Amino acid sequence: MAPQAPKLKADGLPEARELAPTIPKSRLDTKHWWRHKNLRLLNLLLLVPLLSVYSQGFDGSMMNGLQSVSNWREYFGTPSGATLGIFNAAYPLGGVIGVFFISPVADNYGRKVAIGAGAGLCCAGAAIQAGAVNLPMFVISRVVIGAASVLVGGVGAPLITEIAHPEHRSTATALFLTFYSLGAITAAWCTFGTFRIDGSASWRIPSALQALPSVIQLITIWFVPESPRWLVSKGRKEEALAMLTKYHGEGDAGDPVVLFEYHEITTALEAEEEMAQHTYFGALKEFVTNPGNRRRLAVMVWAAICSQMSGNAFVSYYLAPILSSVGLTSDLNQTLVNATMQMVSWFSAMYFATFPEKFGRRVLFLWSLVFMWLIDIAITAGSAMFQKDQTNQAAGYAVVALLYLFSPAYNLGFNGNLGLYIPEILPFRLRTRGLAIFYFTQFGFMILSTFAVPVGLENIKWRLYPIFVAWVMVEFVGVYLLFPETKGPSLEDIAIIFDGPKAKDIEGDVDHVETAPAEK
pLDDT digits (tens, 9 = 90+) for 277-312: 555 566 677 888 888 899 999 999 999 999 988 877
Radius of gyration of the chain (CA): 23
For the ranges 22-31, 199-208, 294-303, 429-438, which has the lowest average pLDDT? 22-31
CB 179 within 8 A of CB 57: yes
The CA distance from 217 to 105, in Å, is 17
Residue 35's pLDDT is: 92
pLDDT category of residue 243 using cuts at 50, 70 and 90: very high
Lowest mean pLDDT among 42-46, 166-170, 234-238: 166-170
CA–CA dist 297, 433 (Å, integer) = 11
- Domain-embedded: residue 26: no
Domain range for 274 is 33-512
Q: What percent of the chain has pLDDT over 70?
A: 86
Whether residue 17 lies inside any domain: the answer is: no
> Cα separation of 466 and 379, whole Å?
10
For position 469, which CATH number holds?
A: 1.20.1250.20
Residue 507 lies in a domain: yes
Nearest CA-CA partner of 488 in 6, 9, 19: 19
Residue 37's pLDDT band (boundaries 50, 70, 90)? very high
What pTM was estimated for this model as a whole? 0.74
Nearest to 151 by CA among 175, 122, 176, 174: 122
Question: Using CA atoms, how far apart are residues 184 and 197, in angstroms rounded to an integer?
Answer: 21
Asked whether residue 317 is domain-assigned, the answer is yes
Is 377 contained in some domain?
yes
With contact defined as beta carbons under 8 Å apart, do 74 and 203 qualify? no
Q: Is 311 left (phi over 0), alpha (psi -120 to 50) or beta?
A: left
Residue 147 lies in a domain: yes
DSSP state of 253: T
Q: Give the model's pLDDT for residue 497.
A: 87
State yes or no: pLDDT of 31 exceeds 60: yes
- β-partners of residue 8 are 14
Domain assignment present for residue 379? The answer is: yes
Question: Burial code of 79-117, b = ≥16 C-beta within 10 A, e = fewer?
Answer: beeeebbbbbbbbbbbbbbbbebbbebbbeebbbbbbbb
Q: What is the tally of structural domains in the chain?
A: 1
Q: Kindly state whether residue 20 falls inside one of the protein's structural domains.
A: no
- Per-residue pLDDT averaged across 164-192, rounded? 85
The pLDDT score that the predictor gives to residue 502 is 61
Using 50, 70 and 90 to split pLDDT, how confident is the model at 72? Answer: confident
| pLDDT top residue among 281 and 257 | 257
